[in-house]
Structure 1
Amino acid sequence: MDIFPDFGAVGGADDLRAIVGALLTYVLIFAVLAILICAVTWAISSSSGNYQSSIRSRAGVLVAVGAAVLAGAGVAWMNFLIGVGQQL
C-alpha cells in the first residue's frame, strides 16, 4: 500500500515564518528595552542603598534576559521545524 499524507497541499509556510518572525522581533526589542531599564534601576537603587528596589530590578533583569533567550530560541526552533516539514 502506498498511502501517505500529502504535505504539499498545506501551504503558507513562508507566511507563517514572516508572522512569527515579526512577533518574535518585537519580543526581542521589548526584552532588550526591559533589560536596559531594569539594569539602570538596579544600578541606581544599589548605589543609593535601596535594597528592595535593587532586588526587584535584579529579578526584572533576569526575567528579561530569560524572555530574550526564549524568543531567540523560538526563532531557531521554528526555522528548524519548518525546514523539517518541507523535507517530509
Structure 2
Amino acid sequence: MTPNTDGLPGLEVVRSIVGALLTWGLVACVAGLVISVIVWAVAHQQGNYSHASSGKTGVLVAAGGAILIGGANAIIGFFSGLGAGI
C-alpha cells in the first residue's frame, strides 16, 4: 500500500500552505542570523562577552534551523522509508 496523493480534497492547498511555511521559516532564519551576527559583533566590540556569546548561540540556532527546514523533505522521506520497512 502506498500513500494516495489524490484521495483528499484540498491536498494542493495544504501543499501550498506547507511550502509557504517553509519559505517563512527560511526568511526567519535569515533574519535571525543577521540579527545574531550584529549582536555578536557589537557586543564583542564593546567587550560585553555575555551578549557576544548569545550572538554566537543565535548564529548556531539560525543555521541549525535552516538546515532542518531545508532538509525537511529528505528527513521525512528517510523516516517514512524506515517506517515502510517495518
Q: What is the TM-score normalised by the length of structure 1?
A: 0.71
Decide whether aligned partners of structure 1 residues 48 and 13 sit closer, same or farther in structure 2, where only a CA change above 3 A counts.
same
Q: What is the rounded CA distance, in whole Å, between the counterparts of 1:33 and 1:62 in structure 2?
A: 13
Q: CA RMSD in A?
A: 2.8
Unaligned 5+ runs, structure 2: 79-86
What is the number of residues matched between the two proteins?
A: 78
**Shift in Å at residue 68 of structure 1?**
1.1
The question of whether the paired residues in 2 share the 8 Å contact of 1:21 and 1:75 is answered with: no
Q: Which of 67, 70, 79 does residue 69 from structure 1 map onto?
A: 67
SS for the counterpart of 1:7 is coil
Identity of aligned residues (%): 35
- Residue 34 (str. 1) matches residue 32 (str. 2): yes
- Residue 7 (str. 1) matches residue 4 (str. 2): yes
Q: Deviations over 1:30-80 (max 9, x none)?
A: 1100100010110111111111000011001100111111111115556x6
Unaligned 5+ runs, structure 1: 82-88
Amino acid at match of 1:69: I
Q: What is the rounded CA distance, in whole Å, between the counterparts of 2:28 and 2:5 in structure 1?
A: 36
Q: What is the TM-score normalised by the length of structure 2?
A: 0.73
What aligned pairs does 1:16-31 form with structure 2 within 5 A after superposition? 16-31=14-29
Higher RCO (C-alpha under 8 Å, 6+ residues apart): 1
- Which consecutive segments of 4 or more residues in structure 1 shift more than 6 A? none
